[in-house]
Structure 1
Amino acid sequence: MTTLLDALVIDMGGTNIRLGLLAQNLLVPQYVETYEIDAFPSLADVISLFLSKAPPHAIKQACIDVATPVTGDLIKLTNHDWSFSISAIGQQFGFQRVKVINDFTALALSIPLLSPNELKLVGQGSADPDGTIGLLGPGTGLGVSGLVRSAAGLYPISGEGGHVTIGARNARELAIFSAFWERYGHMSAERLLSGTGLEEIYVVIAKLNGIEAEPLLPEEISARAVNKSCPICIEVMNMFCEWLGIVSANLVLTLGATGGLYIGGGIVPKLGDYFIKSNFREMFETKGRFQNFMRGIPVYIINADQPALRGAASALSVRFERIGLTWRA
């Protein structure tokens, strides 16, 4: 007997959008497609194309996770010019229910669903099974979330921790960060710990070194650092790994995340052994009187297939009704 695909889940970042169809109460999409956002004028255009190619379906509800705060019917992405109305999407496609949540809230909801072979341990540490969990991930931007324990089980945090302020540790970083302060009036973690951040940091360092910057993409910067072919790229990625350790540790201390720190996003999983051997863990543990505490916290890299879509599917449960915003026909 064929399972009726009656739910749509969408994971919308600043670069790519992933769509999946699933049967209600199932958490793994049966049909998934990925598109580049820049190739489409709107969310509705992507949904139309996806549904036109999908297997037979009768969509009753949808969950959309977005890389931006969810505060009202009009959703505007932080790192892209796309926007959409939740109610308009529901009405256009005849859905009975549309739920919108933050993208890292969705990723957080996927953590309990992940198997051990979808995680890679960085360093040492052992998770407290009753502890709070921290989550962050550099991609187009820097997403931050977590899971707290409640009487009903794990419950996700919705926040914008990627925009916390960071400060220079030395004269070199002060010179680099000053360029961001002059341009933006603020040096946030996301300005460094993201794909766009890697590009901007590279350009700033090249200028400080009196060298003309090449038009490098984030993946080209990281690749040149890994193969040690570009001193500026090496400096960029060293700074990236160290600051990711610092910001990750700050999150752990803020949340009391004895359940571990999870790293998602599109950058770190692709770095492989380069990241494992970097100064990330050293900076993660360098917290003065809390160094021993930090040594006991495990860090896991999420290396799973479409985890945010699984989390979005989980968000359709009535247990998470109060997360994000929900429109009903």
Structure 2
Amino acid sequence: MTTVLAGDIGGTNARFVLFRDGKFQTETFQVMPVGEYHDLGDAVADYLTSQNVGSPDQATFSFASTHEYCDEMALTNSKLTVSVSGLVKRFKLQRARVVNDFTAAAVGILSLSASELQEISAGVIDPLGPKAVLGPGTGLGVSGLIYTGEFWLPLQSQGGHVSMAGQNERELQVYRHMASVFGHVSAERYLSGPGTVNLYAALRSIDGLPIEYTNASEITSRAMTGECASCVETMQIFCRWLGVIAGNLAVTLGSTGGIYLAGGIVPQLGDYFLQSGFVEALQYKGRFSEFVAEMPVYLVKGGDPALYGSVTCLKNHYDGFGFTVDG
């Protein structure tokens, strides 16, 4: 029996689980706070101890990084570092691989059941058409899937760092404020947990109001209850701009295989998101509006696609993705 440790390492939490002979072992799933660790190996050691298990045969981890994946790395949105060869040596692994978090999530989309997807905009799906995958969390992950004729090829993308631009005067005001703070204004500056705070702070500054909230959860909850007008506008812009970016990705890839929303933020918004301007913004593509409107849009409700995908990425035809060390 082959045991594989899979880890999806975010900017806030790390999620670990064991796969035995390719099967997700639900009872071994555990969420651990990233902020308590500086080295991924220490988090892995604590996880294995808490599960009362020895070292696995193989390990695979997905996380965001602004650099090419290599042996010694630091994560984009946390202070955590990783040494792939160090993990192999410390835990006597046969193989360890690290891959981009949304590369893994894209591959993992293929493992999800129908019950783990919620259709939020109907369309006509091409089973072999390109698929767009994106989602905001601590950062903004972007990827896609292209069918090669033999298997689905994921895209290693840093699409969360594309440039943003406003589409009306209010959005241009926000953009100008963001540019004064950050210089280059990427999509992730808006569409992420920290981006929510950035948006709120920009709106308050533009309106000459003091900043009352500095936490994304506070801003989101007050938007959903309607008790804070600036919070409401923050989330309206957030959902609308997420639609813009999703539509851009869909047009770029020709995503007739569907558009998939993952990440930690959108599922928490529930009906608020479904009633937002997301779909309208996604489909507002001028001469190509009808083309995009025919693409089905799905919300990933569960299934942990990055964990499934990172295990799938251990297969030999994914050797060109991420970085691998064999023991």
Q: TM-score range by the shorter chain?
A: over 0.9
| Aligned residue identity for 1:96 | Q
Give the Å deviation of 1:323: 1.7
Instruction: Describe the SS at the equivalent of 2:178.
Output: helix
CA deviations 1:193-232 (Å, max 9, x no partner) are: 0000001111121122221111342122111111111100
Instruction: Describe the SS at the equivalent of 2:90.
Output: helix
Instruction: Describe the SS at the equivalent of 1:8.
Output: strand
Q: TM-score, normalised by structure 2?
A: 0.95
| Aligned residue identity for 1:174 | L
- 1:63 aligns to what? 60
2:245 to 244, 247, 251: 247
Q: Distance in 1 between matches of 2:18 and 2:218?
A: 33
Gaps of 5+ in 1: none
Show the 5 A alignment for 1:220-235: 220-235=218-233
Q: Aligned pair in 2 of structure 1 residues 96, 105: CA closer, same or farther (>3 Å)?
A: same
Gaps of 5+ in 2: none
- 1:17 aligns to what? 14
CA deviations 1:265-296 (Å, max 9, x no partner) are: 01101111111111111111111111111110
Show the 5 A alignment for 1:215-294: 215-294=213-292
CA deviations 1:105-137 (Å, max 9, x no partner) are: 111111111111111111221211110000000
Show the 5 A alignment for 1:1-329: 4=1, 6-26=3-23, 31-68=28-65, 69-329=67-327
Instruction: Describe the SS at the equivalent of 2:32.
Output: strand
Q: Aligned pair in 2 of structure 1 residues 62, 29: CA closer, same or farther (>3 Å)?
A: farther
| Aligned residue identity for 2:17 | G
Q: Distance in 2 between matches of 1:29 and 1:274?
A: 30
Does structure 1 retain, via aligned residues, the 8 Å contact 2:213–2:219? Answer: no
Q: Aligned pair in 2 of structure 1 residues 30, 325: CA closer, same or farther (>3 Å)?
A: farther
Q: Distance in 2 between matches of 1:57 and 1:5?
A: 13
Query: How many residues align structurally?
Result: 326
Instruction: Describe the SS at the equivalent of 1:207.
Output: helix
CA deviations 1:125-184 (Å, max 9, x no partner) are: 121111000000000000000110112121111110000001122222222112221222
Q: Distance in 2 between matches of 1:215 and 1:228?
A: 15
| Aligned residue identity for 1:43 | L
Stretch moving more, 22-31 or 118-127: 22-31
Does structure 1 retain, via aligned residues, the 8 Å contact 2:133–2:259? Answer: yes
Q: Distance in 1 between matches of 2:55 and 2:126?
A: 42
Does structure 2 retain, via aligned residues, the 8 Å contact 1:5–1:21? Answer: no
| Aligned residue identity for 1:9 | A
Does structure 1 retain, via aligned residues, the 8 Å contact 2:267–2:299? Answer: yes
Q: Distance in 2 between matches of 1:24 and 1:62?
A: 13
Q: 4+ residue runs of structure 1 moved beyond 4 angstroms?
A: 27-30
Q: Aligned pair in 2 of structure 1 residues 164, 312: CA closer, same or farther (>3 Å)?
A: same
Give the Å deviation of 1:307: 2.3
Q: Aligned pair in 2 of structure 1 residues 28, 106: CA closer, same or farther (>3 Å)?
A: farther
Q: Aligned pair in 2 of structure 1 residues 57, 29: CA closer, same or farther (>3 Å)?
A: farther
Does structure 1 retain, via aligned residues, the 8 Å contact 2:112–2:303? Answer: no
Give the Å deviation of 1:84: 1.8
Q: Distance in 2 between matches of 1:57 and 1:91?
A: 14
Stretch moving more, 158-167 or 77-86: 77-86
Does structure 1 retain, via aligned residues, the 8 Å contact 2:17–2:24? Answer: no
| Aligned residue identity for 2:31 | T
Give the Å deviation of 1:64: 0.7
| Aligned residue identity for 1:253 | V
